[in-house]
Structure 1
Amino acid sequence: MGILDILGFGSKSENFKELIAKGAVIIDVRTTGEFQSGHIKGSKNMPLDQISSKVSEIKKWNKPIIVCCKSGMRSSQASSILKSNGIEVVNGGGWESLGSKL
């Protein structure tokens, strides 16, 4: 595992379509304003600064999580927070790029 894998930018062996088929929830961690200007259909908006306070709610969903943002930096941070709380999560990177993979 390289530094890029740790940061969530390594090889994307995860099949996003497969995760969605398993019921994965996409969480967009951009600000509400950014989310309103465009997002992946069906994704939930939870700005990065709210992720820690939403952990128990996310755990209750009992589903895999895909996080995204504008470039992948905030989603990497959100992924780390969720993983440290025992949530199955994949960093989807930038929302536009992720949308093209779905």
Structure 2
Amino acid sequence: LPFLHFELCYYQAIEYCIEHGLTRFEGGAQGEHKLARGLLPVRTFSAHWLADPRFRGAVDDWLARERAGVGHYLGELAEHSPFLHEKGPGGIETGAAGAAKPQRGSRRQ
């Protein structure tokens, strides 16, 4: 059945949020196709403890590069938002849902 996945996993949940006054809906990770349906990407965080300091250093180095790449990618995706862009607090560009658009060269995470 066409669109069954989005109907069950997204549209009904979004309707529930609207009906109950909820202001946030988490659409889950990945999927550029979600942009067309109004689900904007947001940066997420996680914390992990690595016992071996040598491995910890290698992971820290990789994560530093990954953060830069993800920030750039989020900026590119935000440019394709289906919402009008406007300036929010501090001159940060936002979509209609108020999701902050990462600024190029920004240290904001």
- TM-score under structure 1 normalisation? 0.27
- TM-score under structure 2 normalisation? 0.26
Structure scoring higher RCO (CA < 8 A, sep ≥ 6) equals 1
Higher strand share: 1
Larger Rg over CA atoms: 2
